[in-house]
């Protein structure tokens, strides 16, 4: 299963590259956290947006490598892929990323009404 995921990631990256040169965007994300409970998390991600108008309107994929060591226990690693998107209208804004590690569906979503309230 891991080899299949790596093949899919490589294919998506190679297909996305020509499109990025025309209308897309790419960025690298690094994250590290360590807390008093002896839990540590490190993430490295590469985002390839095939459509990028601005930070509120985009479509793309995110490839992520994660290392987690919970409560001082042995660490484990994971590779993930996400489809990510965002858009807005006059009064609403939304974004989401939906993905998998090959075994579990992962993701997050946000919907916000962007209107002043009295």
The predicted pLDDT at position 21 comes to: 47
Ranges of the chain with pLDDT below 70:
1-23, 118
**Tokens read off for 55:** 């930070």
Measured at the CA of 19, the angle between CA 13 and CA 25, to 5 degrees, comes to 80
pTM of the model: 0.73
CB under 8 Å to 42, separation ≥6 — which residues? 31, 32, 33, 66, 67
The predicted pLDDT at position 107 comes to: 96
Q: Cβ atoms within 10 A of the Cβ of 37, count? A: 9
The predicted pLDDT at position 50 comes to: 93
The predicted pLDDT at position 118 comes to: 66
């Amino acid at each position: 299963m891991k080899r299949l995921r790596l093949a899919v990631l490589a294919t998506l990256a190679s297909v996305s590259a020509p499109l990025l040169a025309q209308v897309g965007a790419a960025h690298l994300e690094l994250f590290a956290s360590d807390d008093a409970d002896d839990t540590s998390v490190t993430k490295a991600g590469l985002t390839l947006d095939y459509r990028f108008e601005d930070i509120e309107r985009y479509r793309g994929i995110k490839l992520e490598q994660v290392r987690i060591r919970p409560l001082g226990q042995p660490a484990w690693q994971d590779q993930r892929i996400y489809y990510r998107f965002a858009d807005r209208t006059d009064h609403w804004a939304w974004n989401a990323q939906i993905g998998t590690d090959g075994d579990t569906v992962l993701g997050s979503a946000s919907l916000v009404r962007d209107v002043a309230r009295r």
